Structure 1
Amino acid sequence: MLTAQQALDHLLSNARPVGDSEMVAMQAALGRVLAENVNSLVDVPPLDNTSMDGYAVRTVDTQNPGSILTIAQRIPAGSIGTQLEPGTAARIFTGAPVPPGADAVVMQEDCTTPEGSTDQVQVNIAPAVGQWIRKRGEDLRTGKTALTAGTFLRPQELGVAASAGLTHLNVKRRVKVAAFFTGDELSLPGEPLKLGGIYNSNRDTLLACIKSLGCEATDLGIVPDNLNATREALRKASKDHDLIITSGGVSVGEEDHIKPAVTAEGRLDLWQIAIKPGKPLAFGAVRKSENVKDGEGGAQAEAWFIGLPGNPVSSFVTFLLFVRPFILKLQGRDEGHVQSYPMRADFDWLKADRRNEFLRVKINAQGGLDLFPNQSSGVLTSASWGDGLVDCPPGHTFKAGELVKYIPFNALLS
């Protein structure tokens, strides 16, 4: 069996970003991936402006605390002041352009009004040159790159693009993912539960994971446990999709038909990896009945295939660790590396396994990690209860108080 890193490297070495792109309005770009660099159309900010309510001054007039200046003008945001003359100050408000001649802003808390005066201000500090002034173009310069190709567009990236003067963005088309689920024991919630059957939790979990990454998801439902039905589902899924994801049927039992079905309809490159939970993970490709253009002049003759285990925790964990980075690569995002953080384990893990284990844990009030008591691959509540995973290497044990590698769920679900 391959190690987790070997399996991930193999998947990512095969993934190739989709080529098609489209121009969309700003609010339609959320959750999409930039297809090209975005250059700013303007300087941001367009002029030197103040970051505080206060008074714009010349530092040469305020070298001594207690200097009294005449208030010569008032500049709210959206207005332009005039030349600041010697011995004067401008009442100024946050975001307003600093008037010519001023080289500092003193916030109003550091100023007082001389008794009986209506047009003077006493500056009680000696400001430094540039104090509370945001310089023209300090955030973005006209013609300079504001966002780079491959950026996943979150609300803050849309804000950057808007500040740069953009109304539309060129984004990669959504990666198209088909999913189906094998198992005669499965029923959908709302249907009568079969005798000896279970409700299909993987459908909702995996489709939500796919959509959370900004993909176009197609639900092909539950496929019966037989070879012909599995082959037909693969052919249907391959036609209009970049990636096929299945859940269940990847073990070696008589009712597990994924391996022979994928082999008959395409190829299987990887089978089983040394992790727990999630050993029976499969990777390969399914032939398309008709070649589909990928936008780069080539023909996409195959749809990628990833078969996940049927146990709900195994399915969820292997999606996060392997399918997610593969999809990111298809999207053109360079974020496949899973970031872990050293954190203190507040529990013992004394039974080493030959496989790489991923333990469901939760951050406690003391800043350490607690272990969910039942680490079975069938206990999905452990993933709902937990904040993330501990990456425990093969043959490794640890005691309470030791540092472990912690992977938060919230870093793996976007």
Structure 2
Amino acid sequence: MIRSVVEHQQAVTALLQRSSNYSDASQDLALADARLRVLAVDIPAPGNLPPFDNSQMDGYAVHAADLGGGPLHLRVAAPVPAGIRPPALEPGTAAPIMTGAMIPDGTGAVVPIERATPSQFCPAYDTGTDFWVDLPDAAPGSFIRARGSDLAEGSLALPAGTLLAAPQLGLLAACGVGSVSVRSRFTVLLLSTGDEVAEPGTELAPGQIYDANTTLLEAALHEAGAVVIRHRAMSDDPDLLREALEGLERESVNLILSTGGISQGAYEVVKQALEDSSVDFLTVAMQPGGPQAIGAIGDVPFLGFPGNPVSALVSFEMFLRPALTRLVGAPAPRIALQARLESALESPAAKHQVRRGLYADGAVSLVGGTGSHLLHALAGSNALVHVPVGQSSAEAGDTVTIWLIDPAAGTAVPATSTPSTKEKQ
């Protein structure tokens, strides 16, 4: 069976929505612990933001009765620092006021200090000496932040399903909210197999390689907000692997994810162990990452990614990460951009090719070749370059679609939904 990228994206999302025991169970967390979690409930504003009329600038508060008649020559009143309730302002006076300070009753506008003559505040007010200031006329309401102008009491501050990053947490803090109810995290059992792989930090036996996939996918899942349980099934014996899978404690697991053992080779242990299960082993028209497995083990969703590290991460980015966004509300979708290609490329017309790239200043340069083992090239990339089905080449200077996999790679407006990988069918 050969599927398009879009068809497999839809299948993975449907599997998790249909079969996963993930629920919108919630827990209360302090704001400091809620970063990159998803709100479980609507948060109404408990009060007005700002809670009182305040000054937008360092300047002079001017009485409403003094406005509208041209330039002003006013006696300087007592200064208004932030954090106090000031006395009412008298006509004919101008009170030095600091940014964020409460507006005195009677004030019609604030004139910034740089528009005043002198353009600096006078010496201490309580010296017994009268000081005067010349100011231009001002429109009523100038440089005054009105009470509730950012957010009115009782209005919706943040809706359920909001991903809590720094701006959202800052808003809640400004509203006086100390803790929030967030959705439970999605739990993935990450299964690694194979006698030929060794744990990093140990000594390699002849014919062995280090297990990069588990660390690679564990980090990607953590960055996506998931909880990861690592499980090591050492044997390449399908019967022993089948017994290990059947013996897993799956009650609190939302997904089982494995890498390797799903292709057409003679020793594809995952494929052999699950041959009588509901898991389908198929090919997606994508390079890298063509071999894929999807189904369930018992009542727990199962996904199998290819064993080459780049294939595994591309599979995660193309299929699992977008499905988590739709199901859980986190992570945020990848930023999709149009970028200028720095060099020519070729692609199999029947496949959606995903290349690694380095993006900067509107252009993307390819890093490494098409090989799915090129981890060093992956580590030097900050973008995935998409060449859709039906396109066999692109020239230097052509425009291509990229996904930023490093948010610091460029400034862009995040996509409002999972970036499209629409293909020519």
Partner of 1:8: 9
Distance 2:240 2:64 in 1: 81
Q: Please give the secondary structure, in 2, of the residue aligned with 1:228.
A: helix
Distance 1:269 1:102 in 2: 73
Tell me: CA distance 1:334–1:320, structure 2 relative to 1, closer, same or farther (3 Å): closer
Partner of 2:271: 259
Offset of 1:64 from its aligned partner?
6.2
Offset of 1:333 from its aligned partner?
4.6
Q: TM-score, normalised by structure 2?
A: 0.86
Distance 2:286 2:71 in 1: 70
Gaps of 5+ in 1: 288-301
Mapping 1:25-44, distance limit 5 Å: 25-44=30-49
Distance 1:401 1:283 in 2: 38
Distance 2:370 2:343 in 1: 13
Pair 1:322 & 2:319 matched = yes
Q: Please give the secondary structure, in 1, of the residue aligned with 2:239.
A: helix
Structure 2 residue identity aligned to 1:353: A
Offset of 1:342 from its aligned partner?
1.0
Structure 2 residue identity aligned to 1:377: S
Distance 1:314 1:369 in 2: 21
| Residue of 161, 168, 177 corresponding to 2:179 | 168
Offset of 1:334 from its aligned partner?
8.9
Tell me: CA distance 1:100–1:371, structure 2 relative to 1, closer, same or farther (3 Å): same
Offset of 1:234 from its aligned partner?
2.6
Q: Please give the secondary structure, in 1, of the residue aligned with 2:406.
A: helix
Offset of 1:170 from its aligned partner?
1.0
Q: Deviations over 1:102-155 (max 9, x none)?
A: 1221111111239997522211x3333322222211222211111111112223
Distance 1:72 1:58 in 2: 11
| Residue of 349, 353, 358 corresponding to 2:354 | 358
Q: Please give the secondary structure, in 2, of the residue aligned with 1:267.
A: coil
Q: Please give the secondary structure, in 2, of the residue aligned with 1:156.
A: helix
Q: Report if the CA contact (8 A) 1:59-1:126 is conserved.
A: no
Pair 1:369 & 2:364 matched = yes
Partner of 1:295: none
Mapping 1:15-414, distance limit 5 Å: 15-16=16-17, 18-58=23-63, 61-63=66-68, 66-113=71-118, 118-123=130-135, 125-235=136-246, 236=248, 238-264=250-276, 266-269=277-280, 271-287=282-298, 302-333=299-330, 339-364=335-360, 367-396=362-391, 397-410=393-406
Structure 1 residue identity aligned to 2:338: P
Partner of 2:421: none
Q: Deviations over 1:206-253 (max 9, x none)?
A: 111111122221111353222123223433153431111111111122
Q: Report if the CA contact (8 A) 1:186-1:222 is conserved.
A: no
Offset of 1:410 from its aligned partner?
2.7
Tell me: CA distance 1:387–1:64, structure 2 relative to 1, closer, same or farther (3 Å): farther
Offset of 1:26 from its aligned partner?
2.1
Q: Deviations over 1:13-42 (max 9, x none)?
A: 333352311222222222321111111111
Distance 1:141 1:51 in 2: 18
Q: Report if the CA contact (8 A) 1:278-1:314 is conserved.
A: yes
Offset of 1:371 from its aligned partner?
0.9
Structure 1 residue identity aligned to 2:3: L
Tell me: CA distance 1:351–1:208, structure 2 relative to 1, closer, same or farther (3 Å): closer
Structure 1 residue identity aligned to 2:256: I
Offset of 1:375 from its aligned partner?
2.5
Q: Please give the secondary structure, in 1, of the residue aligned with 2:78.
A: strand
Tell me: CA distance 1:63–1:201, structure 2 relative to 1, closer, same or farther (3 Å): same
Q: Please give the secondary structure, in 1, of the residue aligned with 2:258.
A: strand
Computed over aligned residues only, the root mean square deviation of the Cα atoms, in angstroms, reads 2.5
Q: Please give the secondary structure, in 1, of the residue aligned with 2:278.
A: strand
Deviates more, 1:13-22 or 1:376-385: 13-22
Tell me: CA distance 1:37–1:186, structure 2 relative to 1, closer, same or farther (3 Å): same
Q: Report if the CA contact (8 A) 1:387-1:408 is conserved.
A: yes
Structure 1 residue identity aligned to 2:325: L
Tell me: CA distance 1:97–1:12, structure 2 relative to 1, closer, same or farther (3 Å): same
Q: Report if the CA contact (8 A) 2:54-2:103 is conserved.
A: yes
Q: Report if the CA contact (8 A) 1:226-1:255 is conserved.
A: no
Q: Please give the secondary structure, in 2, of the residue aligned with 1:103.
A: strand
Offset of 1:63 from its aligned partner?
4.2
Question: Identical aligned pairs, as a percentage?
Answer: 32
Q: Deviations over 1:42-97 (max 9, x none)?
A: 11100111121111114652546642111223111111223222221121111111
Partner of 1:298: none
